[in-house]
Amino acid sequence: MPILPSLRRRSTSPERAPVVPPAPAPPAPVDPWPRAVLVLLGIALAFAVLLGLNQLRDYIAPTFLALNLVLAAAPLQRWLVTVGLPSILAAIVTGGAIFAFLIAFFTALGWSAAAMVEELSSQEYRQRYTELYTQAVTFLEGYGLEQDTLTRQLESVLDPGRLIAALGGVLGNLGSILGLLTTTVIVIFFLMIDTMSAGRRMSLVQEEHPNVAHALVSFGQGVRRYWVVTTVFGLIVAVLDVVALFWLGVPLALAWGVLAFLTNYIPNIGFVIGLVPPAAVALLANGPVNALLVVVVYSVLNFTIQSLVQPKFTGDAVGVTPTVTFISLIVWAWVLGPVGALLALPATLLVKAVLIDADPQARWVNAFLASKPETARAETTRESFGQES
């Protein structure tokens, strides 16, 4: 009998759940490739791609030039369609405008080079060079400098024959220029055909890959703003330079104005390239004071317009830092040749759009490349897509 209470107590006491040991934490994933190895492989792959582009630059450069021209002329084509012109006629008119621009560009380049060669080949400039050379050697010898060293240095600086040879090389390389122009025209023709369905194609890309679509649209907008603003301010700088050179009495003022317009497309060093020939001619024709005035006038105009005014109108057209701009000039001039100097910034914008802006996980790189570091955030604003398409 005394056993019953104890049994009752056992039966009414709750059963304890068995203690389950905690599950072991999953092992941390092991990266088979150290980060340093991945970085080195990426650099090697990028260098290999650049080498490949360098070998194919006779085809890549005119193709990319044609793409830039078509993108720059896209607003004209959209406006023609908006006013009621059929899409095929709008494409034809836009293509004709691009061809007219190319013809005017290369005609102006050839005329300016021929005018410079003809002017600098005159006997008057040869005599003036001899006089300046003798005066410079006599002046510098008074400071103990050796004549042989002076001869080598002054010949490389003052000899107009070197400038004539360089300009003659532009004229003698007419076959390459015509080849570039022919390839560019052919590519433009096919691109204008594709532009009639570009909006629908981009809409399909937007449905499947919105980040890629936004990056491509931003690239197109940046390229258009860059070319339009650079062209407008190049014309302004060229006109002001011509007026100043006429006022200073420098020969070939119109030719130097054309050169200033063309070199305005080359970032960072274009101003220096456009300054040296007129300053050298002013030195030979009118003396050191006139050459110094040319340097001062060009410097003031370039700093005021290209450094203070033009960036306010350009806005985010380029969207990269000045250091990236300069590095782009060096890299793309090596990869694509002389045309690469003109296409340096658009080429960098394309690489940035495809490899960085289209991938939210890679957009942190914009903290070092973009002029607005805020674009390094992974969030992407796609409002411009609807406006552009």
Position with higher pLDDT, 126 vs 189: 189
CA distances from 362 to 125, 325, 378 (A): 57, 20, 8
93 — pLDDT class (breaks 50, 70, 90) = very high
pLDDT of residue 253: 87
Residue tagged 């194609």 (tokens): 201
Weakest mean pLDDT among 103-107, 173-177, 260-264: 173-177
Tell whether 36 is covered by a domain: no
Position 382 pLDDT exceeds 50: no
Q: Could you give the CA distance from residue 27 to residue 31 in angstroms, rounded to a whole number?
A: 12
pLDDT digits (tens, 9 = 90+) for 304-354: 776 667 666 655 556 777 778 788 888 998 998 888 888 888 898 888 888
* Number of domains present in the structure of the chain: 1
Q: Could you give the CA distance from residue 249 to residue 282 in angstroms, rounded to a whole number?
A: 8
Tell whether 127 is covered by a domain: yes
Q: Where are the alpha helices (DSSP H) in 28-146?
A: 35-55, 57-72, 74-82, 87-120, 123-141
Position 389 pLDDT exceeds 60: no
Position 383 pLDDT exceeds 60: no
Q: Could you give the CA distance from residue 244 to residue 260 in angstroms, rounded to a whole number?
A: 12
Residue tagged 């020939």 (tokens): 277
Tell whether 164 is covered by a domain: yes
CA 238, 240, 246, 248 dihedral sign is: negative
The residue among 186, 201, 211 whose CA lies nearest residue 67 is: 186
pLDDT of residue 97: 92
Q: Could you give the CA distance from residue 88 to residue 77 in angstroms, rounded to a whole number?
A: 10
pLDDT digits (tens, 9 = 90+) for 110-119: 787 777 777 7
Mean of pLDDT values over 60-88: 89
pLDDT digits (tens, 9 = 90+) for 197-248: 888 888 888 888 888 888 888 888 888 888 888 888 888 888 998 999 999 8
387 — pLDDT class (breaks 50, 70, 90) = very low
Position 371 pLDDT exceeds 80: no
Mean of pLDDT values over 1-21: 52
Position 1 pLDDT exceeds 50: no
Mean of pLDDT values over 45-49: 88
Position with higher pLDDT, 32 vs 274: 274
CA quadruple 108, 113, 118, 120: dihedral, nearest 10: 130
Enumerate the β-bridge partners of residue 320: 370
Q: Could you give the CA distance from residue 37 to residue 44 in angstroms, rounded to a whole number?
A: 10
Weakest mean pLDDT among 112-116, 128-132, 308-312, 370-374: 308-312
Half-sphere exposure of residue 140, counting CA atoms within 13 Å on the CB side?
15
Domain extent at residue 190: 57-196
pLDDT of residue 150: 54
* Mean pLDDT over each residue of the chain, to the nearest integer: 76
pLDDT of residue 380: 46
Position 388 pLDDT exceeds 60: no
384 — pLDDT class (breaks 50, 70, 90) = very low
Tell whether 290 is covered by a domain: no
The residue among 255, 187, 214, 162 whose CA lies nearest residue 358 is: 214
pLDDT of residue 18: 61
Position with higher pLDDT, 352 vs 30: 352
Q: What is the DSSP letter of 197?
A: T
Tell whether 142 is covered by a domain: yes
Position with higher pLDDT, 265 vs 68: 68
| List of residues 6+ apart from 359 with CB closer than 8 A | 211
Q: Could you give the CA distance from residue 175 to residue 110 in angstroms, rounded to a whole number?
A: 13
Tell whether 275 is covered by a domain: no
pTM score of the predicted model:
0.73
pLDDT of residue 110: 78
Tell whether 169 is covered by a domain: yes
